[in-house]
């Protein structure tokens, strides 16, 4: 644009009082110089613009930056998420869907879920409905296996023992033995300033696929959902991040990787 501007400006005569012949001669003599001036100005303008364009091209891509941030969030928080298997000791393994060996006994997989490490002492937070059979077991046939990793990524499994339950809020606390093991507890966030539209992330084990990340936004606040004991859980967070069977008990995270909720239910046209 600068070159075009110079080109327009030099078309105006420098002096109008010269004789016609002199003016004509002067114009003819100066025309190549003016053309050179236009060309030089255009090149100079391009050279001034080129470093700016190069700097723009060198700026990190915003999409790549966002993807890198989500990757880091998952890498930093997934070691705090555990996989829970509910098992029933059985004497007759016939006509069962899945049978595993536990302490030299045969057990049937009753269900799976997720949870997260609350502290360095091995307390695990999950949903009550994930461990409900263990909590109400009167015959001593129910056991709970918790699969986790230590801070260095080494996999291990432990028996989970119920410390406390609250069916009215669909929450339970398990305890696993982590003596000699360094685990990575979650960071706890706050919902006080949470707004609809903020990004959120769910980590869990849907359908038994461990360490699955889904992303979405906070779709609504202050929702009400039914609890396992028939009451109502108020103040629930609604999100469009995919939460499927096996995600229950896993953490819902904010953009800083802090826990803002426990994944509990999925609503469909047919209900929960």
**Positions marked active-site:** 129, 170, 248
Q: Of the candidates 203, 131, 207, which has an alpha carbon nearest to the alpha carbon of residue 173?
A: 131
Distance between CA atoms of residues 166 and 176, nearest Å = 19
Asked if 114 and 84 count as a contact pair (C-beta separation under 8 A), the reply is yes
End-to-end CA separation in angstroms for the chain: 63
Give the integer Cα–Cα distance in Å for 258 and 190: 8
């Amino acid at each position: 644009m600068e070159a075009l501007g110079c080109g327009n400006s030099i078309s105006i005569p420098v002096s109008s009082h010269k004789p016609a012949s002199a003016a004509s001669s002067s114009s003819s003599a100066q025309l190549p110089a003016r053309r050179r001036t236009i060309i030089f100005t255009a090149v100079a303008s391009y050279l001034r613009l080129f470093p700016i364009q190069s700097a723009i091209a060198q700026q990190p891509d915003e999409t790549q930056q966002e993807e890198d941030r989500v990757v880091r969030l998952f890498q930093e928080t997934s070691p705090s998420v555990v996989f829970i298997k509910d098992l029933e000791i059985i004497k007759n393994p016939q006509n069962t869907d899945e049978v595993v060996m536990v302490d030299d006994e045969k057990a049937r997989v009753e269900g799976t879920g997720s949870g997260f490490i609350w502290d360095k002492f091995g307390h695990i937070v999950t949903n009550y409905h994930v461990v409900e059979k263990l909590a109400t077991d009167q015959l001593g046939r129910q056991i709970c296996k918790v699969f986790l990793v230590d801070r260095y990524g080494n996999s291990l499994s432990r028996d989970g023992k119920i410390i406390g339950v609250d069916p009215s809020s669909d929450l339970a606390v398990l305890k696993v033995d982590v003596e000699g093991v360094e685990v990575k507890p979650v960071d706890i966030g706050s919902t006080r300033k949470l707004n609809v539209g903020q990004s959120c992330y769910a980590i869990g084990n849907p359908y038994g696929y461990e360490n699955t990340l889904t992303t979405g936004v906070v779709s609504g606040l202050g929702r009400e959902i039914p609890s396992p004991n028939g009451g109502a859980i108020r103040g629930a967070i609604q999100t469009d991040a995919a939460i499927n069977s096996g995600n229950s008990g896993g953490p819902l995270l904010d953009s800083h990787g802090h826990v803002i909720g426990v994944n509990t239910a999925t609503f469909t046209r047919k209900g929960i």
